[in-house]
Amino acid sequence: MFKQYQLVSIIIINWNGLKWLSDCFRTIHNQDYKNFEIIFVDNASRDESVMWVKNNYPKTTIVINKKNLGFADANNVGYRKAKGEYILFLNNDTKVTKTFLAELVRVLEKDSSIGGAQSKILLIDHPDTHDSVGAFLTPTGFLYHYGFGKKDSPKYDKEIELFTAKGACMMFKKEVLDTVAIDGNIFDPDYFAYFEESDLCHRVWLAGYRIVYAYKSVIYHKMGATSASMNNAFIQYHSFKNRIRTYLKNLQIRSMIPMIFIQSILTEGFSFFSLVRGNIQLAWAIQRALYWNITHLHETLKLRGIVQTKIRRVSDKDLAKRIVYKPSLSYYIDLVQGRIYE
């Protein structure tokens, strides 16, 4: 039992997601934890999403952006409207279970060192299969997505620490997000999409908090529902761009220099590999990601100064013992062949 039912702000970003909203809203309102508000942030949709929410769930706080701000900055907009002690980021293409929110709150309330938690995320189309049980950092800077595409089993029914939660369903204490915000933004507004939750979670760890997998909180996700409308070059441009900037901002010098060197080499390798395979668009997108970081280095270093002097409380050496995983060669083969997306 909870000592008190604190308000949870549920932020849902939408872009032409009308077909997913019925299941998402219905299951949220049918779950057991009743002290919540929904902040629906629409990224200039061309469908009838906003009208549907107004007609069916009129108590929802609706924010309409004049243009598509992407996942990251749209969540910043929603966050500034949030009144809750807990902030839940939930994708619109999800269905939740009766106790999912109560279990997230329970996990966050039980330990002051826990700053954030991810639900068990199973696939809507394959409900016995995991989307991802969060991710760990690898020595090369790519993420190892634990449980990605694996059948659910007792192996995944234990609370573990994660480097980064998955943005489809993750909840944080608001006081923690306030601590790691930069210029009022919890997500980097220059991250249109991809790796934005990893950047946020990295700062949460740096501030001295933990992120855990709340396995008793279960939801179902239509993986890739939004990204299906985006081509791979667009996805990989933002993924490579944002990953490099995250490490430039968040790592200490002795960790950052070798990591950026490795990332640069591997990035050029991916670009060359794509070119050899005839995918000129993807090769060029990856080069643009590197170029963006070069031309925005001055801004990135300003942000780095804030992270290192005002947010960091834990050394990279101490964190590595908890958030770094060394995968086998097969992981990198899958990565190169596009079976894993960052």
What confidence tier does 118 reach under pLDDT thresholds 50, 70, 90? very high
For range 300-319, the mean pLDDT: 98
Task: Look at residue 227 in the predicted model and tell me its pLDDT.
Answer: 53
For residue 38, is pLDDT > 70?
A: yes
Task: Look at residue 339 in the predicted model and tell me its pLDDT.
Answer: 56
Task: Look at residue 137 in the predicted model and tell me its pLDDT.
Answer: 96
Dist CA 139 CA 21 (whole Å): 39
* Owner of token pair 């855990």: 212
For residue 210, is pLDDT > 60?
A: yes
More confident residue, 43 or 230: 43
Q: Under a CB-based contact definition with an 8 Å cutoff, are residues 219 and 120 in contact?
A: yes
For residue 36, is pLDDT > 60?
A: yes
For range 304-310, the mean pLDDT: 98
The pairing of strands 135-137 and 143-145 is antiparallel
Task: Look at residue 331 in the predicted model and tell me its pLDDT.
Answer: 82
For range 90-115, the mean pLDDT: 97
Residue 141, C-beta contacts closer than 8 angstroms, at least 6 positions apart: 243, 247, 259, 262, 263, 266
Instruction: Burial-class residue 328 by CB neighbours within 10 Å (0-12, 13-18, 19+).
Output: exposed
Task: Look at residue 229 in the predicted model and tell me its pLDDT.
Answer: 53
For residue 252, is pLDDT > 90?
A: yes
For residue 33, is pLDDT > 90?
A: yes
For range 128-141, the mean pLDDT: 95
* Owner of token pair 């968040």: 250
For residue 9, is pLDDT > 80?
A: yes
More confident residue, 340 or 249: 249
What confidence tier does 207 reach under pLDDT thresholds 50, 70, 90? very high
For residue 149, is pLDDT > 80?
A: yes
Task: Look at residue 193 in the predicted model and tell me its pLDDT.
Answer: 87
Task: Look at residue 270 in the predicted model and tell me its pLDDT.
Answer: 87
